Structure 1
Amino acid sequence: MNASPAEIVQAAARLVHQGARLDMSALAAELGISRTTLFRRVGNREDLLGEAMWLLSERTLRSASRRWREANGDAVRDADGGLRCLWVMARYRASIAGHEGVRMLLDEEPVAAIRVLTDPAGRVQPRVIAAYVDLLTADVDAGGFVPAVDVETLAYAVVRLGETFLYSDVLASRAPDLAALGTLVGRLVDRGL
C-alpha cells in the first residue's frame, strides 16, 4: 500500500475517534509503509495528531451546520431568536466535550493534547478560529447581528474562551461547564440576548 497523506490522517483520526493511542510505528505497519515514509508524509506525531484532531473538528462543524439547515433552512435565527453561529458553535463544543477519544487523549496525554489543541501555530486552533470567522461572517452578512468588534477578534476570543472551559479539567483542575460557557459566549457574540 502506498498511503497518501490524506489516508494517513484519516487512519489517525479513526484511532483518535476510537480512543486508541496514536502509535506511529503501529500506524505505519497498519498502512504498509515505513516509519520514515510516514514521517515524511505527515510530519511528527504531534503534527499528525493535530491533523487528525482537525479532521474530526471539521466533520463536527459540518455536521452541526447541516443540522441547523435541516431544522432552519438558511435562516440566521431560529424561532426562539437563537443565532445560527452560536448554535453551531455550541453543538461543536458539546461534541468535543463529550467525545470519548478526545477525553481519553486529554486524560492520558494532557500536555501533548493541550499543545496540539491550543497551539496558536498548530494544526487545530488556527483552523477552528478560521471556521468561526466564516460562521460569524455569514451571520453578519445575512444581517443576523452586528458584532461589537471585528469578526476575526471575536472568533479568536470565542475560541480561547471555549478552550479555557472545555479543557478546564486539565488546565485548572476544574470541571468543564458548558452551560456557563454558552452563556458567556452568547453575551460576547450577541449582545442583544
Structure 2
Amino acid sequence: MTVSTDDIVRHAARDLFNGTRLDLSRMSAELGISRATFFRRVGNREDLMGAALLLLSDRTWADSIARWHGTHGDAPRDADGRLRCLWVMETYRREVAASDGLRKLIDSEPVVALRVLTDPRGRVQPTLIEAHTALIGADVEAAGLRPLVGLPDLSYAVVRLGESFLYADVLASRPVDLAVATTLLDTLVLGALGTHAG
C-alpha cells in the first residue's frame, strides 16, 4: 500500500496528541518507507510538526464549531446574547490548553514548538487567523454588525493575544489564565465590532 503525505501527517498528529516525540527514523520504519521517501513527502521535522499541529488545530476548531451547532444551530448568539465567535474561540483555547500532548511538546521542546505554532509564515498561525476571520465575518453578517476595523486585522490581534495567554508560562514566565484571556479577548472583539455582550 502506498503511504501518502496525508498518512504521514496523520501518523505524526497521533504521536503529538499522545505526547510521543516526533522521531522521523522511527516513523519511517513504522510506515514502511525509506527516510528519503519520508523527507520527499513531508520535508524536515519542523515541516512535519507544523503540518501535524495544523491538523490537530483544525480538528479542535471544527469540533468547537460543531459543539456550538449541536446546541444553538446556526444562531449567531446564544440565549444570553453572547456571540458565537466568542464562544467558539474560548472553547478552542480551553481545548488547546487541556491538550496533554501539546503541553508535553511545549515542555520538552519549547523553542521549536512555539516557533512552529506562532510562525507568521508557518502552517498553524495563518490558517487559524483565516478561520477566525471567517467565523467573525459570519457573525457580523448574521447579526448585522458594523466592524470598526478590518476583520483580518481583528483576527490577527485575537490570535496573537490568545497565543500570549495560552503559552504565557513559556513566553513570559506567567501562569496560563484563560479566564483573563476570555475577558480581554471578548472585550477586544466586542469593541472592534461596535457591540456589547447583549
Q: TM-score, normalised to structure 2's length?
A: 0.95
Q: 2:35: which partner in 1? A: 35
Matched, 1:52 2:52: yes
Q: 2:20: which partner in 1? A: 20
CA displacement 1:124-147 (0-9 Å, x = unmatched):
000000110111111111125333
Q: 1:71: which partner in 2? A: 71
User: How many residues were matched structurally?
Assistant: 193
- Structure 1 stretches lacking a partner, 5+ long: none
Report deviation, 1:164: 0.5
Q: TM-score, normalised to structure 1's length?
A: 0.97
SS of the residue corresponding to residue 114 of structure 1 reads helix
Counting only pairs closer than 5 Å after superposition, residues 1-193 of structure 1 correspond to structure 2 as 1-143=1-143, 145-191=145-191, 192-193=196-197
In structure 2, how many angstroms separate the alpha carbons of the residues matched to 1:40 and 1:6? 13
**AA of the residue aligned to 1:174:** R
In structure 2, how many angstroms separate the alpha carbons of the residues matched to 1:60 and 1:146? 29
In structure 1, how many angstroms separate the alpha carbons of the residues matched to 2:23 and 2:131? 29
Report deviation, 1:106: 0.5
In structure 2, how many angstroms separate the alpha carbons of the residues matched to 1:103 and 1:146? 38
- Structure 2 stretches lacking a partner, 5+ long: none
Identity of aligned residues (%): 58
Report deviation, 1:162: 0.4
Structure 2 CA distance for partners of 1:78 and 1:5, relative to 1, 3 Å: same
CA displacement 1:65-85 (0-9 Å, x = unmatched):
111011001100000111101
Structure 2 CA distance for partners of 1:60 and 1:144, relative to 1, 3 Å: farther
**AA of the residue aligned to 1:171:** L
